[in-house]
Structure 1
């Protein structure tokens, strides 16, 4: 489980409040994770634990998903600008 020390901080990074920066944040997270999985090749157990934590976080309804914003639909985001 040594490889989880590089994956857990990804779940704890705060998302930006500025809606246009959400896409940049998601791209950076995807590129970091792709690079990590290609370079370090974590064990299967670490990969499953991380993916399960990411899925639970994204579908828990609290809006803290690292890949998209659950609380912002297109109409409400455009009116906030």
Structure 2
């Protein structure tokens, strides 16, 4: 049993490291200057409020989601 553990531990550790690298990569990627400039030019008040409260990443994700919707309208405006 110990021999099996000795053989499997390095493989499991390597697999864990590869998975963590894939998780970490999007977190370390920052917004480019062009993306922030475009956001500030075209953002609505809700998105600017999110930018102030939560930071660049949350605000840009809301902005991109709004741009992907048909007609450029956000879904929660109909409430």
Relative contact order, CA 8 A, sep 6+: which one is greater?
A: 1
When normalised by structure 2's length, the TM-score is: 0.26
